[in-house]
């Protein structure tokens, strides 16, 4: 089982989050989907034998929404100076 966190763009209401949820649930191999309008993200648990992160992104985009990449530089900057950096 794999977990993917997708940063969703274009969601403005509960209907949007429902549409994204339905699009992701329809992907073969997806077991659980939690979409947060407040966080603009979807947490998806799926079987990597049947699907991939790219297929999840394609499903979101086909539903009319975007998927943005996490800013790795921001994460690295945030980690500097702490116990894990």
Tens of pLDDT, residue by residue, the chain (85 residues):
899 999 999 999 999 999 999 999 999 999 999 999 999 999 999 999 999 999 999 999 999 999 987 543 333 333 344 344 4
pLDDT of residue 74: 36
Q: How much of the chain exceeds pLDDT 90, in percent?
A: 78
Angle at 53 between CA 50 and CA 59, to 5 degrees: 85
User: According to the model, what pLDDT value does residue 8 have?
Assistant: 94
- C-beta separation of 12 from 70 below 8 A: no
Distance CA(48)–CA(42), nearest Å, equals 17
Domains by residue range for the chain, with CATH = 2-79 (3.30.70.100)
Q: Report the distance separating Cα 23 and Cα 26, nearest Å.
A: 5
Q: State the average pLDDT for the chain.
A: 84
């Amino acid at each position: 089982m794999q977990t993917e966190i997708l940063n969703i763009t274009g969601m403005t209401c509960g209907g949007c989050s429902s549409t994204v949820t339905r699009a992701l649930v329809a992907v073969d191999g997806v077991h659980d989907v939690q979409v947060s309008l407040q966080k603009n993200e979807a947490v998806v648990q799926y079987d990597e034998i049947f699907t991939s992160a790219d297929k999840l992104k394609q499903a979101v985009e086909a539903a009319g929404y975007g998927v943005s990449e996490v800013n790795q530089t921001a994460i690295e900057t945030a980690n500097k100076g702490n116990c894990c950096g």
